[in-house]
Amino acid sequence: MRLPPVAPIVRAKLGSAPANGHTTFLPQIRKLVVEYCDRWPSSDNTRTFLLNHIEDVARQNPHVEVVVRQRSHKEPIIRGFYVNQRDKVVPLNGLEVTQIQKKIELLLDSSGAKIKPLKKTVESTTEAARGIWSGLHAERPTL
């Protein structure tokens, strides 16, 4: 009797899937760069934020490398660099200091993954917990 062929296990492909948060959590953001201009008025609020609040942000988030950079004659921005080697850039012109703080929080909480619209209601690595219904295993209907 011919049995189905068996594919060999290749050692180089033996790996595991990540489960961030099951035991320990690795924050996904690694660097935050705030870029401002010294002269232009669009950077006024950003400069106020940098003078008053950026140190607190850096102290409360020791896992993030906080960098302040000059970006002359341009609008102020923040860049967040993530562990998946992607970055997010958020412009800060027209924002108040509290709104800038919100944008900082947005970048700190983000995972850096591309924002894709979710098509399915549930996305999971495992099958349904209660099992898939089978007509052959269900109870026969009784009158």
Partner 1 sequence: MGHVHQRLASTTARLASSLSTAHLSKFPPKDLLFVKGREIPTATIDPDTWASLQPPPPTALSAFAHRIGLSSVLTSTEVIQQVCTHPSFLQLFKQHTPHERDPATNGQLAAIGNSLMGLFATEYVRATYPYLPTRVMKAAVTAHVGPLPCANVAQEMGATPLIRWQRSRGTLLKSGVLHSDALASIPRALTALVYQQRSLPSARQFVHSYFLSREVDLRGMIKFLDPKKALLEMVKKFQRELPKSRLLKETGRYSNSPVFVVGIFSGEDQLGEGFGSSLKMAEYRAAEDALLRVYLTRIPPHLVQLPSQTFPVGVGDVYKKAQEGDYKPPDLVESEIMYASSGNSFTHST
Question: Which among 54, 40, 43, 36 is positioned nearest to 101, based on CA atoms?
Answer: 54
Nearest distance in Å: CB 96, partner 1: 28
Q: Are the CB atoms for 46 and 100 separated by under 8 Å?
A: yes
Nearest distance in Å: CB 15, partner 1: 4
Tokens representing 18 are: 């990540």
Nearest distance in Å: CB 134, partner 1: 8
Judged by the rule CB under 8 A, the positions of this chain that interact with partner 1 are 1, 3-20, 22-24, 26-27, 30-31, 62-67, 83, 85, 125, 135-137
Q: Based on CB atoms, which residue is closest to partner 1, 116 or 140?
A: 140
- Residue 17 region by backbone torsions, left for phi larger than 0, else alpha for psi between -120 and 50, else beta: beta
Rg of the Cα trace of the chain?
Answer: 25
Q: Based on CB atoms, which residue is closest to partner 1, 67 or 106?
A: 67
Biggest CA-to-CA distance, the chain: 85
Q: Based on CB atoms, which residue is closest to partner 1, 4 or 94?
A: 4
Nearest distance in Å: CB 114, partner 1: 16
Q: Based on CB atoms, which residue is closest to partner 1, 30 or 74?
A: 30
Coil, strand, or helix at residue 45? helix
